[in-house]
């Protein structure tokens, strides 16, 4: 590590590139929160995104890798774009719950997802459930099984019934549950 500085930070260009490669959407597949929106003031915006180091920027940081050079630590390859909540979460407990290979997989899969969804309506990326949804059967019964985010319109009922293992529909905001 350079003796002149304690942390190998990303430069502004790297931060901007990582945010844009993620489309300003959190790279955690269980989150995918938008991190940029307009403010009430026409010349302002609200931004809650953060570019985080996959391996730590300093010796005492989470997932520090002594074998990396300062240039590697501050490179695009060592950065991941997250919302502010996920950025804080992945560094808790010295990063033990979020190893390097997991964060790299999140980043790679998110960038693929962004490329695959370029020029698609945001509405097509969310499953909307309205009215009543029934799942009935024997064995293992799952009320809702959807890829990606699910939006329940107000008043929607989801019912799972049958014999055996019944998985009732339970929607939680994982970020709020971890607070």
Average pLDDT, the chain: 82
Q: Cα–chain-centroid distance for residue 29?
A: 5
∠ at Cα 16 (100, 43), nearest 5°? 135
- Whole-structure pTM value: 0.69
Both tokens assigned to 26: 């959190």
How confident is the model over 68-83, as a mean pLDDT? 97
Per-residue pLDDT reduced to its tens digit, 15-45: 999 999 999 999 999 999 999 999 999 999 9
Tell me the pLDDT band of 119, cut-offs 50, 70 and 90.
confident
What pLDDT shows up at residue 63?
Answer: 96
CB 115 within 8 A of CB 108: no
CB 114 within 8 A of CB 21: yes
Question: If DSSP states are collapsed to H, E and C, what string results for 49-66?
Answer: EEEEECCCCCCCCCCCCC
Per-residue pLDDT reduced to its tens digit, 129-176: 666 666 666 656 555 555 556 666 666 666 666 666 555 554 444 444
Tell me the pLDDT band of 121, cut-offs 50, 70 and 90.
confident
Neighbours of 64 (CB within 10 A): 17
């Amino acid at each position: 590590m350079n003796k002149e500085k304690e942390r190998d930070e990303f430069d502004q260009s790297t931060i901007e590139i990582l945010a844009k490669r993620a489309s300003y959407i959190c790279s955690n597949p269980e989150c995918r929160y938008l991190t940029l929106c307009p403010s009430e003031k026409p010349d302002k915006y609200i931004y809650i995104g953060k570019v985080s180091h996959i391996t730590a920027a300093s010796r005492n940081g989470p997932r520090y890798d002594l074998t990396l050079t300062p240039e590697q630590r501050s490179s695009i390859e060592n950065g991941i774009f997250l919302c502010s909540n996920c950025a804080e979460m992945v560094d808790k407990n010295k990063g033990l719950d979020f190893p390097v290979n997991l964060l790299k997989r999140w980043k790679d899969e998110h960038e693929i997802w962004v490329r695959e969804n370029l020029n698609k309506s945001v509405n097509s990326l969310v499953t909307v459930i309205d009215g009543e949804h029934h799942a009935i059967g024997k064995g293992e019964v799952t009320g809702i099984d959807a890829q990606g985010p699910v939006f329940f319109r107000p008043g929607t009922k989801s019912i799972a019934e049958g014999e055996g293992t019944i998985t009732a529909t339970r929607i939680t905001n994982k970020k709020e549950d971890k607070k």
